[in-house]
């Protein structure tokens, strides 16, 4: 074979890159995408993001009690909020007038205000009996289904609704009252209150009754546990239990 023939015979291998591949195969190999580590990390992040979006879309929405509330319940809630706002506005007006009187040196008004503050403090600390309109609540719980957390929720709901004084069983509720569970049922300030839990609350009966009937509120919570719940309003209730005065 002459030299020219050898050159012609070696050209196909040279065109294929020296590895026996055709020009087309070599070109496709060069154009093929070879992912690097950053590309893989970005792809993984997109996969995780897609999973999170999918879970968010298919996860069932949590049921909101307000969506299932009746129109009458929502109207009552709005009325309750309006009544609270009116009371706050009236108290703000009274305090503003009191400030003007005190600044002008009205001794009579100052003495009267001091007496009102003293009476309010006695009610808060539970050192004096209280009589007035309010609500009476009875939770019948022979199976011990109502625990201390439910009773505490009851106290907080009534306070939020404007209760000025509270009595649970034979215990007067004050700022440092405590609740616990025991083998005999709920204990309030160290005193068992029994399986039939009675609560007296002095305050606006309509406002407190509306708060108790709110969907998902105290009445629903007690009945859901399997206990009986009953509430009645009265224009005159008496809380005679007091706590002893302490001196430092």
Q: Angle formed by the axes of helices 148-160 and 205-212, to 10°?
A: 140
pLDDT at 109: 67
Whether residue 232 lies inside any domain: the answer is yes
Whether residue 163 lies inside any domain: the answer is yes
Indicate the SS3 state at residue 63: coil
Angle at CA of residue 147, ends 146 and 152, nearest 5°: 105
Whether residue 111 lies inside any domain: the answer is yes
Q: Give the C-alpha separation, 123 to 162, whole Å.
A: 13
Domain that holds residue 166: 69-239
pLDDT at 48 over 70: yes
pLDDT at 20 over 90: no
pLDDT at 59 over 60: no
Of residues 53 and 143, more confidence is placed in 143
Whether residue 76 lies inside any domain: the answer is yes
Q: What CATH code is carried by the domain that includes residue 83?
A: 3.30.70.1880
Q: What's the DSSP call for residue 183?
A: T
Whether residue 169 lies inside any domain: the answer is yes
Whether residue 40 lies inside any domain: the answer is no
Q: Give the C-alpha separation, 173 to 10, whole Å.
A: 104
pLDDT at 205: 92
Burial class (CB in 10 A: 0-12, 13-18, 19+), 210: buried
Of residues 72 and 161, more confidence is placed in 161
Average pLDDT for residues 17-42, to the nearest whole number? 60
Residue-wise pLDDT tens digits, 157-215: 998 888 989 999 999 998 888 999 988 889 998 889 988 999 999 999 999 998 888 88
Whether residue 136 lies inside any domain: the answer is yes
Of residues 144 and 14, more confidence is placed in 144
Domain count, the chain: 1
Residue 117's pLDDT band, with cuts at 50, 70 and 90, is confident
Whether residue 175 lies inside any domain: the answer is yes
Q: Tell me how long the chain is.
A: 248
Lowest mean pLDDT among 78-87, 124-133, 209-218, 234-243: 78-87
Q: Give the C-alpha separation, 62 to 37, whole Å.
A: 40
Burial class (CB in 10 A: 0-12, 13-18, 19+), 90: exposed
Average pLDDT, the chain: 76
């Amino acid at each position: 074979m002459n030299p020219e023939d050898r050159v012609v015979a070696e050209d196909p291998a040279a065109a294929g890159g020296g590895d026996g591949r055709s020009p087309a195969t070599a070109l496709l190999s060069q154009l093929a995408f070879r992912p690097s580590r950053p590309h893989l990390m970005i792809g993984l992040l997109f996969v995780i993001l897609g999973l999170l979006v999918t879970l968010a879309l298919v996860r069932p929405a949590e049921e909101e009690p307000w969506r299932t509330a009746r129109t009458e319940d929502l109207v009552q809630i709005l009325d309750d909020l309006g009544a609270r706002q009116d009371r706050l506005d009236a108290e703000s007006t009274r305090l503003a007038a009191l400030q003007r009187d005190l600044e002008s040196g009205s001794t009579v008004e100052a003495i009267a205000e001091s007496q009102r503050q003293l009476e309010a403090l006695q009610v808060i600390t539970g050192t004096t009996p209280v009589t007035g309109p309010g609500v009476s609540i009875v939770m019948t719980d022979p199976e011990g289904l109502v625990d201390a957390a439910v009773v505490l929720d009851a106290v907080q709901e009534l306070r939020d609704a404007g209760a000025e004084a509270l009595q649970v069983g034979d215990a007067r509720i004050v700022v440092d009252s405590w609740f616990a569970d025991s083998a005999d049922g709920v204990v309030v300030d160290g005193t068992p209150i029994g399986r039939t839990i009675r609560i007296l609350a002095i305050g606006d009966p309509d406002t407190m009754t509306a708060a108790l009937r709110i969907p998902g509120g105290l009445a629903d919570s007690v009945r859901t546990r399997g206990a009986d719940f009953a509430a009645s309003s009265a224009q005159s209730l008496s809380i005679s239990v007091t706590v002893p005065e302490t001196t430092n």
